[in-house]
Amino acid sequence: MTQHVLFIVTNAAVIGPHNRKTGFFFAEVAHPFDVLDKAGIAVEFASPAGGWTPYDAYDESDPAQKEFLESKAFRRLNHSRKLSEVDAADYDAILVPGGLGPMVDIQRNADVQKAIERAWSTGKLVTAVCHGPCALLSVDLGDGTPFVRGKKLTSFSKKEEYDYARDDVPYELEDALRAEGAEYSSASNWEPHVIVDGRLITGQNPASAGPLGKELVAALRRAAVPA
């Protein structure tokens, strides 16, 4: 039986006081998609507003990115479903890619929070990479406890942000996750780093997107085996 993963992607094309061009970080969709697609796992796309999803940092020298740009999946992405009209429980996992765009319209978004709560409460996998873990902020499962409290995770680090977009983001994601009680860790700047904590899988940066996809495939295969 085919398994399905829902990517929740930003609609934000600019961020910050300097109107920095942004969107989703292209590799953070293309690399996990490549891994999932080759594993025979279906991917669908949703966004807060539906429709067009702007992107940033496309690298035409990367075969996986070039292949994705030319794919039917990329065309589907640009006609993404409106998240409020999607039930996360219909999927085996959700994945929130990064880029700076999520810090505009994914973080503390009621529909995104509902999707995470719905996926988690129905036993599905929740995954996010780079700035994507901002989706986990202010999520609770009904008892007022922050979703991330006590969970091992990672995201784009404060050290990485210092040289990348410190003047453009509204807050430091690492600090915000720690403030809600997450057991945060990171590797060296721009090095792959993925943390699996039960059904929560997070990656630190663009280099972590492909490895996160591989961990997600492994987790989906485990979930598909009858107990």
Rounded CA gap, 180 and 16, in Å?
24
Cβ neighbourhood burial of 225 (10 Å; 0-12, 13-18, 19+): exposed
Does the structure show a pLDDT above 70 at 122? yes
Does the structure show a pLDDT above 70 at 227? no
- When the pLDDT of each residue in the chain is averaged and rounded to a whole number, the result is 97
Handedness of CA 85, 91, 93, 95 (dihedral sign): negative
pTM greater than 0.85 (yes/no): yes
